[in-house]
Amino acid sequence: MKTPYYVFVFFVLLILNPVNAQESVFVSDFIERLENSQKYVEQVAELMPAEKYQYRASEESLSFAQNLMHIGFALNWHSKTLLGEIKTPTWQEDTVYKTKGKSKKEMIAIVNATFKEAISVLKQLDSNELENLLDYFGLDRTKRQICLLLADHITHHRAQMIVYLRLNGITPPRYVLYQ
């Protein structure tokens, strides 16, 4: 007795479905992580007094404000250019994420808006594209790797901002529920 073709197709789809479910779980988990990261970055940024936004730990370090805006620039570039395939300005061309002439309030608003835009791009990301390879400064990286790299990058610069708070005698917000 021959097995009907549709039974074979049904079993293949059944086997592949958990893979697709895992991929979409990755994207939704990453979106949740970015939403939590946005809240934490905003809390850190709010704690530093406006007059200390140009504070830097050493001459060659980025200032508090530059770290904040660099988070925004990198989030925008990685999410739109690499994940969303929407061309954005390079660092040299950019004017939005430069600190000059911007108040603390304006910088926080720009970074918050960027988080929302990045999350919007991710919500449109087809989870089947997560394994697509991209050229990342001469290295082959998947879109999944770009997401992980982006999370690390945000953490790296936010951690510098936290150290700057401490160096100015300010207790940073607790790192609870922001994983």
CATH code for position 131: 1.20.120.450
Q: How many angstroms from the chain centroid is the CA of residue 168? A: 27
Is 78 assigned a ligand-binding role in the annotation?
no
pLDDT at 30 over 60: yes
* Cβ proximity of 80 and 120 under 8 Å: no
**Scanning the structure block, which residue is given the tokens 């790296």?**
156
- Of 64 and 11, the structure prediction assigns the larger pLDDT to 64
75 within domain boundaries: yes
5 within domain boundaries: no
Q: How many CB atoms lie within 10 A of CB 122?
A: 18
31 within domain boundaries: yes
Least confident of 29-33, 55-59, 87-91: 87-91
Q: What is the pLDDT of residue 125?
A: 93
* Cβ proximity of 26 and 144 under 8 Å: yes
Q: In the structure encoding, which two tokens stand for residue 158, read together?
A: 């936010």
The number of domains in the chain is 1
Looking at residue 172, its amino acid is P
Q: What angle do CA 119, 172, 29 make, to 5 degrees?
A: 25
17 within domain boundaries: no
178 within domain boundaries: no
Is 156 assigned a ligand-binding role in the annotation?
no
45 within domain boundaries: yes
pLDDT tens across 47-56, in order?
999 999 999 9
Q: How many angstroms from the chain centroid is the CA of residue 67? A: 14
pLDDT averaged over every residue in the chain: 89
* pTM given for the model: 0.85
pLDDT tens across 64-110, in order?
999 999 999 999 999 999 999 888 888 889 999 999 999 999 999 99
H/E run at residue 112: helix 104-124
Q: Domain span at residue 80? A: 26-167
Closest by CA to 106, choosing from 65, 77, 74, is 65
110 within domain boundaries: yes
Q: How many angstroms from the chain centroid is the CA of residue 164? A: 21
| 3-state secondary structure at position 84 | coil
